[in-house]
């Protein structure tokens, strides 16, 4: 009778890089350098916590530990260090890891390898973790659940490939602080947080080709990750969404189970040498479609296609969601309004077409701040609208001091929200502190490189600092990310073109606006005057002065924030030729 193989009880940590193949596809040498840097951190933490790597080819690692507690502590510290590396890198160079941990018997071999179901389950747990996240089996969880250093989310029964349903726990925090590895959240966390809740459901593979599954799943993972960068979106983690893969359920039922208002679903279909992707946003309460888009590209470069779809979905969807939610909030009775509703109403009512319209919007932000003094976004918008009131001539320069106070308060309350740094940058720009403005805009972009509106507004700042070539490039990228962009993108593009002395192009860009605001006539008049179309310039300026009587070169100079005098002279000279009064 053959003797039984020796076994031992260990904790297995399985780690794998997310989207490493796409990084290598872009630049093999840079991708390898980034991976080696991350692996050095991960390998060192495994050794420091008493672990042993028994398999570590390329972008994946398998390690054993003598205790589950050591493995979880190692995983948490590794994710913290990796997150810091990613925070210091550009979006294109970031590389996150998923980690799975299991506890069980393994069979050791003479070459130091380990085999058994325990190892396989750890690898499957890693596959359902979110980027930057850690998932545990029930066996591992039981060993660490009493440790005060950790808290966990129970994800329930999760279907794991080739294994079946398994109870999975996700490490939620360390020392009582929520993990910042990703802002995607689970359904249980949504009930206590204000915001727009959404889940990205697994996309259907209509190609009849099982090999396309990885493409569908990659889309869902990346769209989920990129949407989660928007702090006002509460995004269900991808591993929870994948529980609904191949399960035909009514969207209202899924919305109720996950406690979300919106669901993004889609499909992928191969048509000979082209791939078509459909995406639809659905209201979870009614089941009605509220947004849809189709993407179709040559099949040649799947990675490029995947990037393009993610950019366009993420570029367009958050703004569309805010518009829908703003209209919903406007319909609520006053007695039903909470701080977040007031904020949404303010965003929906925002307009600089008149002082009364801007005041109406500001009143909602004031209400939001009064209802919840800790609501950072309300203070940020109060700062932003205060500056807009000064730019339009409806307030004196003293309001800028108040605006900076509000913006600083917003950043102090929530430094992780990119929008607060955006509002502070706007204050800095309009108080002529250009370097601080650039730094704050840069911080906002580093926190969320996916907001097309942020890229477009930062481009306006680049015009004021004399960087028009960079402004035009950034605007083109913003328009690519958000193809159905709002009209004001065209105004910024026209502004950049005017300051590049491309006058005909600047005028053509203004003509692309579907509903040009009244204040756009000032730019139109300057362009027409620079083109020596004097009669048209004068008529356009008269129209602007009827909207804003008493405006003059003195008032315009006081509110212009050009870094270089040559740019200011170009602008004021064109307005003078158009006939704007000196004082």
Q: pLDDT tens digit string along 386-398? A: 999 999 899 999 9
Q: What is the pLDDT of residue 183?
A: 38
Q: What is the band of 127 on the pLDDT scale with cuts at 50, 70, 90?
A: confident
What single DSSP character describes residue 297?
A: E
547 C-beta neighbours (distance < 10 Å), count: 14
Of 199-203, 283-287, 327-331, give the range with the top mean pLDDT: 199-203
Backbone angles phi, psi at 278, to 5 degrees: -110, 140
Q: What is the band of 383 on the pLDDT scale with cuts at 50, 70, 90?
A: very high
Burial 488-502 (b: 16+ CB within 10 A, else e): bbbbbbbbbbbbeeb
pLDDT above 90 coverage of the chain, percent: 36
Q: What is the pLDDT of residue 531?
A: 96
Domain 183-304 carries which CATH code? 3.40.50.10610
Per-residue pLDDT for 193 more than 50?
no
Domain 1-181 carries which CATH code? 3.30.70.1230
Domain ranges of the chain: 1-181, 183-304, 332-449
Q: Tell me the C-alpha distance between 341 and 194, whole Å.
A: 9
Q: Tell me the C-alpha distance between 153 and 360, whole Å.
A: 42
Q: What is the band of 191 on the pLDDT scale with cuts at 50, 70, 90?
A: very low
Per-residue pLDDT for 346 more than 70?
yes
pLDDT above 70 coverage of the chain, percent: 83
Q: What is the pLDDT of residue 148?
A: 60
Q: Are 191 and 207 in contact (CB under 8 A)?
A: no
User: How many alpha carbons fall within 13 Å on the CB side of residue 361?
Assistant: 23
Q: Are 100 and 131 in contact (CB under 8 A)?
A: no
Q: What is the pLDDT of residue 178?
A: 34
pLDDT digits (tens, 9 = 90+) for 350-364: 888 888 989 999 999
Burial label, 87 (beta-carbon count in 10 A; 0-12, 13-18, 19+): exposed
pLDDT digits (tens, 9 = 90+) for 6-31: 888 999 999 998 877 767 767 788 88
Beta strand 164-174 pairing with 150-160: antiparallel
Per-residue pLDDT for 284 more than 60?
yes
Angle at 515 between CA 510 and CA 516, to 5 degrees: 45
Q: What is the pLDDT of residue 241?
A: 78
Q: What is the pLDDT of residue 483?
A: 65
Q: What is the pLDDT of residue 302?
A: 58
Q: What is the pLDDT of residue 11?
A: 95
What single DSSP character describes residue 211?
A: G
Average pLDDT over residues 289-300: 75
Q: Enumerate the β-bridge partners of residue 353.
A: none
Q: Are 113 and 57 in contact (CB under 8 A)?
A: no
Give pTM, 2 decimals: 0.55
Q: Are 183 and 229 in contact (CB under 8 A)?
A: yes
Tokens encoding 126: 């890693």
Helix crossing, 452-464 with 488-498: angle to 10°? 30
Q: What is the pLDDT of residue 203?
A: 86
C-alpha pair distances (Å), 291 with each of 266, 294, 453: 12, 11, 19
pLDDT, averaged across the chain: 83
Q: What is the band of 177 on the pLDDT scale with cuts at 50, 70, 90?
A: very low
Q: What is the pLDDT of residue 2?
A: 57
**Dihedral angle of Cα 439, 442, 444, 450, to the nearest 10 degrees:** 170
Q: Are 291 and 281 in contact (CB under 8 A)?
A: yes
Per-residue pLDDT for 1 more than 50?
no
Q: Are 495 and 474 in contact (CB under 8 A)?
A: no
Q: Tell me the C-alpha distance between 29 and 24, whole Å.
A: 8
Q: What is the pLDDT of residue 394?
A: 93
Helix ranges (H only) for 49-130 are 68-88, 117-128
Which residue, among 164, 6, 23, has the nearest Cα to 90 in the 3D structure?
A: 23
Q: Are 260 and 197 in contact (CB under 8 A)?
A: yes
Q: Are 494 and 507 in contact (CB under 8 A)?
A: yes
Q: Enumerate the β-bridge partners of residue 549.
A: none
Q: Enumerate the β-bridge partners of residue 291.
A: 281
Q: What is the pLDDT of residue 10?
A: 92
Domain 332-449 carries which CATH code? 1.25.40.10
Q: Check residues 411 and 5 and name the one with the higher pLDDT.
A: 411
Q: Tell me the C-alpha distance between 311 and 480, whole Å.
A: 8
Which segment of 21-35, 239-253, 307-321 scores lowest on mean pLDDT? Answer: 307-321
Q: What is the pLDDT of residue 72?
A: 93
Beta strand 114-115 pairing with 134-137: unpaired
pLDDT digits (tens, 9 = 90+) for 57-100: 778 899 999 999 999 999 998 988 888 787 767 666 788 899 99
Beta strand 262-271 pairing with 204-205: parallel
Q: Check residues 127 and 1 and name the one with the higher pLDDT.
A: 127
Q: Tell me the C-alpha distance between 158 and 242, whole Å.
A: 9
Q: What is the pLDDT of residue 323?
A: 66
Angle at 448 between CA 515 and CA 26, to 5 degrees: 105
Q: Check residues 289 and 531 and name the one with the higher pLDDT.
A: 531
Q: Beta-strand (E) ranges in 146-273?
A: 150-160, 164-174, 177-178, 196-200, 204-205, 233-235, 262-271
What single DSSP character describes residue 302?
A: H
Q: Are 62 and 54 in contact (CB under 8 A)?
A: yes
Q: Are 103 and 9 in contact (CB under 8 A)?
A: yes
Q: Tell me the C-alpha distance between 43 and 317, whole Å.
A: 39
pLDDT digits (tens, 9 = 90+) for 361-377: 999 999 989 988 988 88
Q: Tell me the C-alpha distance between 170 and 156, whole Å.
A: 10
Phi-psi region of 383 (alpha: psi -120 to 50; beta: other; left: phi over 0): alpha
Helix (H) or strand (E) holding 467, with range, is none
Which residue, among 405, 337, 330, has the nearest Cα to 360 in the 3D structure?
A: 330
Q: What is the band of 187 on the pLDDT scale with cuts at 50, 70, 90?
A: very low
Per-residue pLDDT for 542 more than 90?
yes
Tokens encoding 120: 């396989």
Q: What is the pLDDT of residue 541?
A: 95
Which residue, among 403, 387, 306, has the nearest Cα to 23 in the 3D structure?
A: 306
Q: Check residues 383 and 238 and name the one with the higher pLDDT.
A: 383
Q: What is the band of 163 on the pLDDT scale with cuts at 50, 70, 90?
A: confident
Q: Are 306 and 295 in contact (CB under 8 A)?
A: no
Q: What is the pLDDT of residue 176?
A: 34
Tokens 């050095």: give the residue: 40
Per-residue pLDDT for 295 more than 60?
yes
pLDDT digits (tens, 9 = 90+) for 426-461: 999 999 999 999 999 988 888 877 778 888 999 999
């Amino acid at each position: 009778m053959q003797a039984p193989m020796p076994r031992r009880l260990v904790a297995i940590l399985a780690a794998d890089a997310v989207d490493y193949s796409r990084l290598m596809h872009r630049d093999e040498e840079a991708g390898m350098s980034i991976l080696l840097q991350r692996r050095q951190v991960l390998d060192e933490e495994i050794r420091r916590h008493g672990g042993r790597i028994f398999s570590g080819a390329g972008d994946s690692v398998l390690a054993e530990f003598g205790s589950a507690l050591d493995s979880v502590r190692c995983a948490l510290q590794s994710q913290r260090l990796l997150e810091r590396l990613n925070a210091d890198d550009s979006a294109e160079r970031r590389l996150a890891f998923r980690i799975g941990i299991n506890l069980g018997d393994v069979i050791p071999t003479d070459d130091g390898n380990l085999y058994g179901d325990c190892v396989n389950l750890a690898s499957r747990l890693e596959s359902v973790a979110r980027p930057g996240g850690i998932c545990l089996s029930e066996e591992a969880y039981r060993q660490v659940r009493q440790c005060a250093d950790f808290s966990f989310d129970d994800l329930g029964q999760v279907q794991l490939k080739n294994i079946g349903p398994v109870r999975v726990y996700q490490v939620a925090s360390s020392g009582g602080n929520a993990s910042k590895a990703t802002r995607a959240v689970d359904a249980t966390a949504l009930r206590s947080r204000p915001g727009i809740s959404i889940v990205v459901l697994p996309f259907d593979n209509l190609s009849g080709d099982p090999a396309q599954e990885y493409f569908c799943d990659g889309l869902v993972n990346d769209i989920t990750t990129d949407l989660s960068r928007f702090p006002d979106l509460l995004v269900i983690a991808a591993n929870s969404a994948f529980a609904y893969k191949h399960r035909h359920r009514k969207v209202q039922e899924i919305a109720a189970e996950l406690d979300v208002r919106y669901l993004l679903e889609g499909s992928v279909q191969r048509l000979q040498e082209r791939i078509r992707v459909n995406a639809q946003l659905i209201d979870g309460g009614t089941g009605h479609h509220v947004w849809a888009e189709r993407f179709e590209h040559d099949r040649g470069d799947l990675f490029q296609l995947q990037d393009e779809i993610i950019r366009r979905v993420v570029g367009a969807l958050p703004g569309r969601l805010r518009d829908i939610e703003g209209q919903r909030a406007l319909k609520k009775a006053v007695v039903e309004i909470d701080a977040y509703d007031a904020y949404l109403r303010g965003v929906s009512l925002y307009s600089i077409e008149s002082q009364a319209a801007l005041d109406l919007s500001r009143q909602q932000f004031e209400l939001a701040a009064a209802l919840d003094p800790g609501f950072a976004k309300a203070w940020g918008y109060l700062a932003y609208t205060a500056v807009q009131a000064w730019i339009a001539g409806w307030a004196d320069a003293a309001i800028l001091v108040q605006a900076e106070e509000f913006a600083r308060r917003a950043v102090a309350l929530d430094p992780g929200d990119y929008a607060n740094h955006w509002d502070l940058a706007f204050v800095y720009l309009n108080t002529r502190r250009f370097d601080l403005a650039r730094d704050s805009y840069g911080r906002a972009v580093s926190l969320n490189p996916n907001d097309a509106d942020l890229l477009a507004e930062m481009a306006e700042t680049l015009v004021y600092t004399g960087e028009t070539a960079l402004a035009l490039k950034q605007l083109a990228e913003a328009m690519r990310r958000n193809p159905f962009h709002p009209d004001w993108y065209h105004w910024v593009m026209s502004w950049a073109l005017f300051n590049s002395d491309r006058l005909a192009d600047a005028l053509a860009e203004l003509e692309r606006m579907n509903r040009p605001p009244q204040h756009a006539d000032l730019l139109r008049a300057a362009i027409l005057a620079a083109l020596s179309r004097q009669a048209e310039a004068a008529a356009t300026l008269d129209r602007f002065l009827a909207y804003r009587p008493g405006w003059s070169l003195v008032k315009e100079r006081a509110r212009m924030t050009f870094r270089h005098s040559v740019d200011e002279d170009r602008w004021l000279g064109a307005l003078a030729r158009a006939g704007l009064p000196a004082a």
